[in-house]
Amino acid sequence: MIPDLTNATAATREFYSLPEDIRSTVSAIVGNPPRPMSTMEIMLAIGQAVAGERERDRWQPMEMAPRDGTRILLRLSNGEVFSGWGTEEAGFQKFHADGTDIGWLNPRHWQPLPSPPSGGDE
């Protein structure tokens, strides 16, 4: 639940703009309402957040892959990696770099696409 943020600080408004799952994880660490934390507890909370992000970026089993057309990375049993997408009805499909469809796959693992690089270069 998001409280009334009319008179909230910028940091409070930014915190409540984070996804609910992240806010819940943070609240579990710092308590609700937040309690004063030692420097070591703050470092632990940051470390746990970084570890969670690293885990999210690892190859995951196909049972966890999105099947709603979201573009993801697909890894075959021979180690080849492709960009592709999946649907409940049809399975997983891969693409050439130019976006043309090159067939159906039976991948072993998946992971989200990385964020694009920042900057103005095309």
- Pair (108, 68) in one structural domain: yes
pLDDT at 95: 61
**Bigger pLDDT: 29 or 75?**
75
Percent of the chain with pLDDT over 90: 1
In a domain, 121, yes or no: no
- Pair (51, 88) in one structural domain: no
Residue 122 has pLDDT above 60, yes or no: no
User: For position 86, which CATH number holds?
Assistant: 2.30.30
Question: pTM to 2 decimals?
Answer: 0.50
The string over 38-63, giving b where at least 16 C-beta atoms fall within 10 Å of a residue's C-beta and e elsewhere, is: eeeeeeebeeeeeeeeeeeeeebebe
pLDDT at 98: 62
Are residues 113 and 66 in contact, defined by beta-carbon separation less than 8 angstroms? no
Q: What radius of gyration, in Å, describes the C-alpha atoms of the chain? A: 20
The range of the structural domain enclosing residue 76 comes to 60-112
Residue 38 has pLDDT above 80, yes or no: yes
Mean pLDDT rounded to a whole number for the chain:
80
